[in-house]
Structure 1
Amino acid sequence: MMQQENKSNRLINEKSPYLIQHAYNPINWYPWGEEAFEDAKKEDKPIFLSIGYSTCHWCHVMAHESFEDENVAAILNKFFISIKLDREERPDVDSVYMTVCQALTGSGGWPLTIIMTTDQKPFFAGTYFPKTSRYGMPGLIEILESVATQWKNSKEKLINSSDNILKELGKFFVSESNDTKLSEKNLKNGYNQLLKSFDIKYGGFSPAPKFPTPHKLMFLLRYYKMYDETNALEMVETTLGSMYRGGLFDHIGYGFSRYSTDDKYLVPHFEKMLYDNALLVIAYLEAYEITKNPLYKDISIKSLEYVFRELTSNEGGFYCAQDADSEGEEGKYYVFTPDEIKIILGEEDGNYFNEYYDITDEGNFEGKSIPNLIKNSNYNKKDEKIDVLAQNILDYRNERYSLHKDDKILTSWNGLMIAALSKAYKVLEDEKYLEYAKKAIDFIYNNLVDSKGRLFARYREKEAKYKAILDDYAFLTYGLIELYESSYEILYLKKAIDLTEAMIDLFFDEKNAGFFLYGKDSEKLIARPKELFDGAIPSGNSVAAYNLIRLARITGKSLFEEISKDVLDYIAGSIISEEINHSFFLIASSFALNKTKELICVIKDESEKEKIKDTLSDMQAFNLTVIIKNEENSSELEELIPYTKDYTLKDNKATYYLCEGNSCFPPTNNLNEILAKFHKIK
């Protein structure tokens, strides 16, 4: 990727792996910042903005075709100020200009190509362009030459065009909300829309390409529990099974790829993202809690094993992603031929392995085979021999040309992984998951929080940079709440409350409700969007609302309840019967609309705490909040949750209080008795 024979450009001083990939392009790239904007004004040149990320296949293609090309570089260097931006470092900038692209062209994606005025107002948008025109697609050279001519001869037209575009696009940045209030109708609409779009044969809720969107499955699990709707559970199980059986799951090295290019989840886009694996672990674990299907447990364990092996830093944080490409070819790292397998394993074991994973002479991907279980009816049965053989294949695969790894650490995505690890500890009772979660929290608070308590978004090579956006605050709080509810350590609840209060101060729109994407103390862009769409990653607004309602039910803080209601009503009034695209909003809504049960446990010693954790690990309850009070934490707990002052030991024994809404059952010293009452009122 890097052309070492070229002189380095300004990107050589950046920390982003994506920007560094372009540091030896012949283009005079700038990072996003004042120097670029000042030079654009001084030299009276339009700005060429290219946005991507380091594991993006089509970003690699455009880089090789165009950004390493001397002719393209000559045009850009002469007529434009060129900015290269890592979307994962600056999701706020990416969101603004992706919205522009989607509004102007009807589609979006990366690489994102924007041409704009010196004051950052866009007048041209697109995604990937070849160097020269082909197959009806305009070439980058032709586009640049045309814009350069227009800038020289009719600059005012372009400026007026950019002003008009911004004026027209105002409604795309901040959704208008009507007076609709959140109700059960939203949940039922979401369920019916998912049912209507469901692929009965292979699972999932769209034609190819199929993205995992685990939060759709997480909502359906809650819907099943609320309404005893078996179709909801069947949709979840079909999808979970198909995603695992296909090539979307890496059967050799574990972990899930970003999406499937076909309807059966066979051929993935091979890059692996931290956020996908975090959310999928949560979905599989929640399904395991309900069904006790050991396959879901096994998939969760294997996915986390992948994260520990490939995406975990020695410092405690988690890296972003692994690339799809090796030696310039997408997927080459992951595919095999039957003869190759037999050379490694021997004739007998090789034939067994090839049949098990459907590795054939014809292949299923460019003449070679992605190991998969689509045709294997025994996919859900444990096969210890296969596990041993797969380890041998992994050892062999590890000798191949290694995949690029984006080793920056993002606060937001780490928050999701902390939530997954906390859930894993709670469900699987393996201490290592708790240790990894705690270590990641310690890493973030030691490296990504400044002296004033302001959270930052990205860490790499000892540098924390970029003020955290809504997603960072919301996702990290989500992780902290999950960590508190699995460990019952007050420290994590306190951090979650503090972060939430800071989030309200920095991002909440007091006039119209909802949370803005970037904070009131951050760089001002041409728009200040509110993101509501739950795509591959859930929106900050949905997760924030979920956090707020959970914290409100734990702490009794009325402010949290009120703001959560405002945000959920705001989203409900904005989505215009498109609940299917707001599935994490539906998760938050199901919690808000369902009566929460609070279990307050007043105990004497740690052994009783472990008994509670063991008992609760065997049950699934999306609407149960648990608080454990003991002599050591009582003063701190009562400060955070004032109503806990009224809960004390009875007869000097561990005492359990179960409350629903505004009423409580009589206290008891028998945990099983109180849980029986919980199941009765559930």
Structure 2
Amino acid sequence: MPNRLGHETSPYLLQHADNPVDWWPWSEGAFEAAREAGRPVLLSVGYSSCHWCHVMAHESFEDEATAEYLNEHFVSVKVDREERPDVDAVYMEAVQAATGQGGWPMTVFLTPDAEPFYFGTYFPPEPRAGMPSFRQVLEGVHSAWTERREEVAEVAGKIVRDLSEREIAHTGERPPQEDELAQALLGLTREYDPQRGGFGGAPKFPPSMALEFLLRHHARTGAEGALQMAQDTCERMARGGIYDQLGGGFARYSVDRDWVVPHFEKMLYDNALLCRVYAHLWRATGSALARRVALETADFLVRELRTEQGGFASALDADSDDGTGRHVEGAYYVWTPAQLREVLGADDAELAERYFGVTEEGTFEEGASVLQLPQQDGFYDAERVESVRARLLAARDGRPAPGRDDKVVAAWNGLAVAALAETGTYFDRPDLVEAAVGAADLLVRVHLDEQARLVRTSKDGRAGAHAGVLEDYADVAEGFLALASVTGEGVWLDFAELLVDHVLARFTDPATGTLYDTAEDAEPLIRRPQDPTDSATPSGWSAAAGALLGYAAQTGSEPHRAAAERALGVVAALGPRVPRFIGWGLAVAEAYRDGPREVAVVGPSLDDEASKALHRTALLGTAPGAVVAFGTPDSDEFPLLADRPLVDGAPTAYVCRNFTCDAPTTDPERLREALGGL
């Protein structure tokens, strides 16, 4: 019998709609039911491409006996963390504070007033490796609830008080200075893995935001060590198993330090961020590998994640059918030598084994290998290799594909808009820019309401029920600002203005300038979430600082620049201490230290070759965070174009920063010298 999840838009919730567990979505009705029945609430949080979420669902939530016990003693609430990042953040903070670790699936037991009192992540169906079984946990919680209710209430109240009293420590009083950015670079250098690239040990995550900081720091200061760390990390990842050597795009993370075996889920946000990083690396160095990876990742986004409505789906699952009916992690992506021979024949299979690092022993499970590029491409005949790759990709397309989470998340689509707009422009791929415009159009049509308030998610062109959070407003504004620079269409600047004004009005503490992850009029939770540190994506706080700074540079708005400066105070405090976890804030700080530079290009149209050359040169500049406006001298779409005439009747570029302007130029080479880049 279906439960209450059947009418939800979240693919993750819909995956549980036929469970025998009597699930509720997060709602007041669920907690009212718990109060009326006098039962505790089981809160289970996950997401659709989470491997261990699927495992726990199969082992416990599809089990009739477990479901019967849950339905008798608990009110069970299922939450998609990607749809409700605010709920996830609040209770994950509690889990981490209590246990010292966190992850998904997240399992939290609450009072009917939503106060947490017992925590965990995955629980097995039987006791295992020191973990109690899920049934033992349920029985223990039920016993505590029925026999020691006052003690449970006391614990829950203390947890809530502790959480509510937490403040963002050391928010800082000013943006980072040179010495603090240098300390952040030194901190990254200390944690850098010189043999393998990246930072820290296993599991190893793509450090997208730290890489952006390193590229910007090198562009501004000339620090070669920063560029070397970025280059080496990008090459190691691109040659490793974390990168899909056939279809492009990156998996979520590597389970080992060498980037060999990934956790195979592919997330929109990772690929949007990394597409942009590799495009920026190419812009700085001209690297052929960076160009290839940026384009292949962009093509992956469009080919495999774009929805019929023009937005981008959230993720591809790690698991898929292995062809025998088993649902296995990585089955879609891995190869054995026998499988290579079946597709390619003996001679080309031997080449593929060497080229992609496939062995009889395997690098993954059951003798299968994750494809890598352990050697330089120059050792092989390029035409033959391309034929091998194309045939393997075609054969792989015949395998059962991983599931796709089709919900469109506003923030992640904003990141994709920025990546595709820039990548398409750099490499003369108007189809990619068109894809960026299509996603931006969907965000305007479906995710923005009449008050220009963002909805967090949509599916099949239908807006979800949940309000956007800070990262949604900031990342979508970032995408719109990038699109404005690339297309020369001021309407995207207008849409960005609506969003950053909401950031000022509804997400900012007027007394301190600090930022909250939820709006002041959002659904109240046990704590208003507020976290300036990056996780898998830029923090809403850092992303908002970047969007505010970029908008201020485009318009000259002092209130927006002042808000960006206040927001960057936390980067001054945390950057020297934990640079890996505030990389986007450090990248924004580099833009702030550089100005950022404001580039106005005036000309008849982007169809005019001289105008196009100046505009393209401006966009290829490596000056951190530079903003670009294009239009005719009499255009009122961009404030930067005001009083910018043609020089001698020719298209002209103006470069300014900190209220000082260079002499205007009609020469792309002089503009390149002013901005850096290829």
Superposed counterparts of 1:371-450, under 5 Å: 371-378=370-377, 383-450=382-449
Please name the residue that 1:542 is paired with.
Answer: 542
Q: Tell me whether 1:244 sits opposite 2:245 in the alignment.
A: no
Equivalent-residue separation in structure 1 for 2:54 and 2:543 (angstroms): 32
Residue aligned with 2:590, SS: helix
Structure 2 residue runs without a partner (length 5+):
322-326
Q: Which amino acid aligns with 2:390?
A: Q
Picking from 45, 53, 74, the partner of 2:47 is 53
Superposed counterparts of 1:570-585, under 5 Å: 570-573=570-573, 577-585=577-585
Q: Tell me whether 1:355 sits opposite 2:345 in the alignment.
A: no
Which stretch has the larger CA shift, 609-618 or 300-309?
A: 609-618
Q: Which amino acid aligns with 1:413?
A: W
1:190 deviation in Å? 1.4
1:363 deviation in Å? 0.9
Residue aligned with 2:148, SS: helix
1:447 deviation in Å? 1.2
Equivalent-residue separation in structure 2 for 1:311 and 1:675 (angstroms): 35
Equivalent-residue separation in structure 2 for 1:666 and 1:135 (angstroms): 69
Which stretch has the larger CA shift, 406-415 or 181-190?
A: 181-190
Equivalent-residue separation in structure 2 for 1:262 and 1:201 (angstroms): 13
Which stretch has the larger CA shift, 218-227 or 411-420?
A: 218-227
Please name the residue that 1:654 is paired with.
Answer: 651
1:585 deviation in Å? 0.6
Cα distance change on mapping 1:334 and 1:644 into 2, 3 Å: closer
Equivalent-residue separation in structure 1 for 2:632 and 2:224 (angstroms): 40
Q: Which amino acid aligns with 2:613?
A: K
Picking from 128, 132, 135, the partner of 2:126 is 132
Please name the residue that 1:218 is paired with.
Answer: 212
Equivalent-residue separation in structure 2 for 1:288 and 1:354 (angstroms): 29
1:102 deviation in Å? 0.6
- Using the size of structure 2 for normalisation, the TM-score is 0.95
Cα distance change on mapping 1:599 and 1:636 into 2, 3 Å: closer
Equivalent-residue separation in structure 1 for 2:358 and 2:283 (angstroms): 33
Residue aligned with 1:131, SS: coil
Q: Tell me whether 1:95 sits opposite 2:89 in the alignment.
A: yes
Cα distance change on mapping 1:575 and 1:231 into 2, 3 Å: closer
Instruction: Work out whether residues 49 and 115 of structure 1, in 8 Å CA contact, stay in contact via their aligned partners in 2.
Output: yes
Which stretch has the larger CA shift, 114-123 or 552-561?
A: 552-561
Structure 1 residue runs without a partner (length 5+):
1-6
Superposed counterparts of 1:601-616, under 5 Å: 601-606=601-606, 607=608, 608-616=610-618
Equivalent-residue separation in structure 2 for 1:79 and 1:567 (angstroms): 46
Picking from 625, 629, 639, the partner of 2:627 is 625
Equivalent-residue separation in structure 2 for 1:124 and 1:11 (angstroms): 25
Please name the residue that 1:311 is paired with.
Answer: 305
Please name the residue that 1:469 is paired with.
Answer: 469
Please name the residue that 2:324 is paired with.
Answer: none
1:451 deviation in Å? 2.5
1:340 deviation in Å? 1.4
Equivalent-residue separation in structure 1 for 2:36 and 2:424 (angstroms): 57
Please name the residue that 2:177 is paired with.
Answer: 183
Please name the residue that 2:591 is paired with.
Answer: 591
1:35 deviation in Å? 1.3
Which stretch has the larger CA shift, 329-338 or 415-424?
A: 329-338
Deviations 1:599-653 (A, max 9, x none): 323323441431223433554332533322315x62343xxx2x64332234444
Q: Which amino acid aligns with 2:518?
A: Y
Deviations 1:581-606 (A, max 9, x none): 11101001111122333332332344
1:306 deviation in Å? 1.4
Please name the residue that 2:479 is paired with.
Answer: 479
Cα distance change on mapping 1:668 and 1:428 into 2, 3 Å: closer
Please name the residue that 1:3 is paired with.
Answer: none
Give the aligned length: 670
Picking from 637, 642, 645, the partner of 1:645 is 642
Cα distance change on mapping 1:622 and 1:350 into 2, 3 Å: same
Residue aligned with 1:456, SS: coil
1:211 deviation in Å? 0.4
Cα distance change on mapping 1:295 and 1:424 into 2, 3 Å: same
Q: Which amino acid aligns with 2:622?
A: Q
Residue aligned with 1:82, SS: strand
The list of structure 1 runs, each at least 4 consecutive aligned residues, that deviate by more than 6 angstroms after superposition, is 379-382
Deviations 1:491-535 (A, max 9, x none): 111111221112211211112222211112221111101121112
Residue aligned with 1:223, SS: helix
Please name the residue that 1:198 is paired with.
Answer: 192
Equivalent-residue separation in structure 1 for 2:60 and 2:676 (angstroms): 63
Cα distance change on mapping 1:93 and 1:14 into 2, 3 Å: same
Equivalent-residue separation in structure 2 for 1:230 and 1:359 (angstroms): 35
1:544 deviation in Å? 0.7
Residue aligned with 1:319, SS: coil
Please name the residue that 1:4 is paired with.
Answer: none
Picking from 316, 319, 326, the partner of 1:322 is 316
- Using the size of structure 1 for normalisation, the TM-score is 0.94
Instruction: Work out whether residues 173 and 527 of structure 1, in 8 Å CA contact, stay in contact via their aligned partners in 2.
Output: no
Cα distance change on mapping 1:292 and 1:462 into 2, 3 Å: closer
Instruction: Work out whether residues 602 and 653 of structure 2, in 8 Å CA contact, stay in contact via their aligned partners in 1.
Output: yes
Deviations 1:84-122 (A, max 9, x none): 110011011001011110111000000000001001000
Please name the residue that 2:110 is paired with.
Answer: 116
Instruction: Work out whether residues 52 and 86 of structure 1, in 8 Å CA contact, stay in contact via their aligned partners in 2.
Output: yes
Cα distance change on mapping 1:649 and 1:332 into 2, 3 Å: closer
1:297 deviation in Å? 0.6
Instruction: Work out whether residues 104 and 125 of structure 1, in 8 Å CA contact, stay in contact via their aligned partners in 2.
Output: yes
Picking from 26, 34, 37, the partner of 1:40 is 34
Cα distance change on mapping 1:379 and 1:134 into 2, 3 Å: farther
Cα distance change on mapping 1:669 and 1:365 into 2, 3 Å: closer
Deviations 1:227-252 (A, max 9, x none): 22211111111111111111101112
Equivalent-residue separation in structure 1 for 2:341 and 2:407 (angstroms): 38
Which stretch has the larger CA shift, 84-93 or 128-137?
A: 128-137
Please name the residue that 1:70 is paired with.
Answer: 64
1:151 deviation in Å? 1.1
1:452 deviation in Å? 2.6
Deviations 1:310-356 (A, max 9, x none): 11112100000000111321112211111211111111112111221
Q: Which amino acid aligns with 1:140?
A: F
1:182 deviation in Å? 2.5
Residue aligned with 1:317, SS: coil
Residue aligned with 1:13, SS: coil
Q: Tell me whether 1:527 sits opposite 2:527 in the alignment.
A: yes
Residue aligned with 2:348, SS: helix
Residue aligned with 2:107, SS: strand
Cα distance change on mapping 1:575 and 1:674 into 2, 3 Å: closer
Instruction: Work out whether residues 129 and 137 of structure 1, in 8 Å CA contact, stay in contact via their aligned partners in 2.
Output: yes
Residue aligned with 2:45, SS: strand
1:274 deviation in Å? 0.4
Please name the residue that 1:293 is paired with.
Answer: 287
Equivalent-residue separation in structure 2 for 1:344 and 1:133 (angstroms): 43
Q: Which amino acid aligns with 2:141?
A: V
